[in-house]
Structure formats: structure tokens, C-alpha cells
Amino acid sequence: MTQRLHLVFGGELVDPTKNAFKDVKDIHIVGMYPDYATAYDAWKSEAQKTVDNAHMRYFIAHIHRLRDEKTEASPTEELGS
């Protein structure tokens, strides 16, 4: 079975209209989830806790999209060569 890993993370943004974090060291890593539905539930829970802070944002990163198993080497693997 193929895993479709998703990472949920968030933090305070410099500007609520952009996606730049105020302090990268303060990014909150919520967790890694095996499917979108579970990741969405975690994202929603964290986002609702910070609804009163317009600068706080949580995101779902589709980790499974970072690596294409059909390609001999992903672009990030080639950086180490």
C-alpha cells in the first residue's frame, strides 16, 4: 500500500497576507499523518486554537509529492552529488 504522508505545521507570520514566518525557530510541528483526512483533522484542530490571532497560520504539506518514485533521482538527491 502506498503511503500518502502529510506534514501539519504552523506558526506566526510576518504578514497575514503572505507565507513568511516571523521566526522559523518557533514553527510548531504538529505531526506527520498517513493520509489527508487525518492531517486535515489535525490542521483544523490547531487552526481553531489560534483563530483569534490573524498572524497565526497552519499548513498541510503533501510530503508524498516531494519524491517521485518513478524518477531515478529526485532533484534534492542530486544536490548531494
Q: How many domains does the chain have?
A: 1
In a domain, 22, yes or no: yes
Q: Give 4-52 pLDDT, tens digit per residue.
A: 899 999 999 999 999 999 999 999 999 999 999 999 999 999 999 999 9
Strands 28-33 and 6-12: antiparallel
pTM over 0.85: no
At 43, which helix (H) or strand (E)?
Answer: helix 36-49
Residue 1, in any domain of the structure: no
On the question of pLDDT at 69 being above 90, the answer is no
Cβ contacts of 27 within 8 Å, gap of 6 or more? 9, 10, 11, 21
63 is in which domain, residue-wise? 6-79
In a domain, 15, yes or no: yes
35 occurs within a structural domain: yes
Query: Within a domain: residue 24?
Result: yes
Domain with 43 in it: what CATH number? 3.30.70.2400
Give phi and psi for 53, each to the nearest 5.
Answer: -110, 105
Within a domain: 10: yes
